Amino acid sequence: MSYPIKNIATIIQGTGNLLVDADIEHLLTDSRKITFPSASLFFALHSNRRNGHSFINEVYERGVRNFVIDENINTSTFTDATFIKVKNTLTALQTLAAYHRSQFSELPVIGITGSNGKTIVKEWLYQLLRSNYQIVRSPRSYNSQIGVPLSVWQINKQHTLGIFEAGISTTEEMQKLQSIIQPTIGVFTSLGNAHNEGFTSLQEKANEKWKLFKQANIIICNKELLKLINEDNIAINKKFITWSTTDKTATLFVSSVKKNSNTTQIHVCFDKNSNYHITIPFTDEASVENAITCCCVLHSFHFSEEEIALRLALLQPVEMRMQLKKAINNCYVINDSYSNDFSSLSIALDYLKQQSGNNVTTVILSDILQSGLAEEDLYKQVAAEIQQRNIHRFIGIGEQLNKYHTLFVNIAQQTSFYTSVENFLQQTNPHQFKDEFILLKGARRFAFERIDDWLEYKIHQTVLEINLSAIAYNLKTYQNQLQKDTKVMAMVKAFSYGSGSAEIARLLQFHKVDYLAVAYVDEGIELRKADISLPIMVMNVDEVGFNALIEYNLEPEIYSFNIYHSLHLYLLQQAITNFPIHLKLNTGMNRLGFDEKEVERIATLLQQNNTMIVQSVFSHLTSSEDEADDAFTLQQAKTFLQSCTAIENKIGYQFIKHISNSAAVLRHPSLQMNMIRLGIGLYGVDASNNHHIHLQPAATLKTTIAQIRNVKKGETIGYNRKGKLERDSKIATIRIGYADGFSRKLGNGIGSVFVNGQLAKTVGNICMDMAMIDVTDIDKVNEDDSVEIFGIHLPIQQVAQWSNTISYEIMTSVSQRVKRIYTEE
């Protein structure tokens, strides 16, 4: 569905010269995600760190000719573009989406809110209802003030049901989302502590979320929640379907929950007279509650008890994140097979281009089932999406794609089609894939996991999972603490603290950090070869690496006269002037850098010679996280600023100043200066111990159980018989040792790991490739079960404390033989 640009101007009450007579199909808020420029409308939004107006030139150069702005800009250079001026661009985006929703007033819409479970419930409802309805739903977790309007914009005349999430972080937000979603059925999944900082109480949060249901005819929630809702918010003309495990007056009373090894049987009584049971293929508490919520929704659609039980028994797990992992022949695989609809394809293609840079890209796609579109129209759109992103090779699997293969002629350099996964595997050789990024996007029934396994780089079962969404969240969290013009330098040295330099750098570049920093020239070269174009500071250089600095456009740290003179002579020989450098000052760390008394001399050399130009001057704080050393920290900053002033006075120009690390950002906001350096804070480790900021753990080290044995009291475990048992015990051997980064310091019960919801202590010495743990008191432990070494359930800070070290060492000690898997939610 499209709108003439002149109609949009009227809807959002904008003014301007409508120079282009365009029909708008796509709304843009991100300059990096342009697919169909001529039919797109760019909204120049504002955030704490970015102003969308500064990207207008970039967006224009990529073909977009329609813009919504709320600032006065010089439009004279954009002679063939339309600019619509409004009071607030975000409000305009939301107004347009609300208008679009109102054009489908007869469309039933499920609006989902809550602290947890929104995306799972949305995806499960899609599974449960898609055989009866043509469903439009929020892509992934598009539930914010920006994500909701972009989700609702997808509605078209083919849809017969909408399912949308709404997430908020403070008051006065939900009313805006309600006007856009306009749900007819409201679902409140749960109420927890997420985003508590935006509310004065749990009751305030509950009532703010409840505003989503202002015009809903049916509301579904846990009955206990109603106790928190103000009476004036509970309209008597609404139908409530409540559930409870304790209150028999609830519409759906859960009388018992029985968990087996892989399933849970739930006995329920609906409306006080209908008793039946449902079985779901999950055992965790969250899944049980989410399934009960879905059961209530199915009742609101008047399904029979038998049909509800049948559908819930067939629920599939929801993999809410894309996985990026190393594959054969120096390839990378992005596995996004958890959903295969048209909207999620577009998101996956954007992620493929983000991660691949200028590398070769391949898309392996299955038939898209139950899209609601005529098949030919659907695959015309798919072909256009592929072509717009300049994919090198397209592989289609399924009878529909084979039927419409002529639509894909010339959309990529290579195209091929197969009737099934078996057919593809039989006719294709793994060696045909080399040095490329491969996107797997398949409907569940095609079992693309077989292709994933076929391409996988086979190493042992210990993996380090890096959640790229968590890193992006942590970056934004720190950016929200910064003054508007303060830049960000991200530290990606030491293989990005063990997490993978190129992959993390691509993410940081995508989110527009200002600088990257590496420890050695080799690391900088790796990033350049991975198509990282951000400025890169190299912290340790020597004469051997000077040529690489020039060739790969890397900016060295100059910390001594010896390094300065060596580089100066090299630049003279190469006839190079004004080469960018970063000057390191020693203000108390006493490691590297020019002392205060040497500042005048180095400044004079820089002023007299024109071989180098100072990009930044910086120093290291010794203990910004330690309150006892606050006076010393402030003295360091004072000395640093005095030295910077002396340098500026001598060389005659200004430069970037930075001294703050992750901890200082939070504990010493006055020291932000022109730029701050973020290191381990990006990975969710708050070195400042500031409990007012919420970071997400980004790294999870996992392994599996190789063997379980019963060992008698008095027997010993491991080398040197260090683990002597004081009781009959069940001992599990796990596939990780000190060669993987699991320190020997953690042996003999000093450390623990997380297994099936509980901590299990180590037993005996840690071996090179294996370790033993005591699982005697843990139920239902089996061989090949997953074991968390550190991550979401077992914080890396705790492991560091057991090891008598710091989180930095734990992260960087994870061996390169441990496979890295990158996920994005």
**Helix or strand run (H / E) with residue 452:** helix 449-455
Do 119 and 469 contact (CB within 8 A), yes or no? no
Exposure letters 485-515 (e unless 16+ CB within 10 A, then b): ebbbbbbbbbbbbbbbbbbbbbbbbbbebbb
Written as six digits, the tokens of 618 are: 């910086």
How many other CB atoms are there within 10 angstroms of residue 432's CB atom? 12
- Structure tokens of 508? 């940081």
Which of these, 280, 289, 275, lies nearest to 259 by C-alpha position?
280
Whether 464 contacts 818, CB under 8 Å: yes
Q: Which two tokens mark 135?
A: 């469903």
CA distance 164 to 5: 26
What is the rounded CA–CA span in Å between residue 737 and residue 474?
30
For tokens 């038998």, the residue is 306
The one-character DSSP state at 411 is S
Which one of the listed residues 353, 441, 493, 702 is annotated catalytic?
493
What counts of helices (H) and strands (E) characterise the chain? 25, 39
CA atoms within 13 A on the CB side of 312: 31
- Cα 380 to Cα 388: distance, rounded to the nearest angstrom: 12
493 classed as catalytic: yes
560-to-18, 635, 658, 762 alpha-carbon distances in Å: 59, 22, 18, 47
Catalytic residue, from 6, 157, 258, 719: name it.
719
Measured distance CA(28)–CA(35) in Å, rounded: 10
Helix/strand/coil for 451: helix
Question: Contact at 8 Å (CB) between 177 and 93?
Answer: no
Q: Give the count of alpha carbons within 13 A of 543, CB side only.
A: 6
SS3 letters across 685-734: CCCCCCCCCCCCCCEEEEEEEEEEEEECCCCEECHHHCEECCCCEEEEEE
What distances in angstroms separate CA 293 from CA 32, 161, 207, 279, 300, one per listed residue?
Answer: 37, 18, 19, 14, 11
Bridge partners for 24 per DSSP: 3
Give first-to-last CA distance, the chain, whole Å.
28
Question: What amino acid positions are annotated as catalytic residues?
Answer: 493, 719
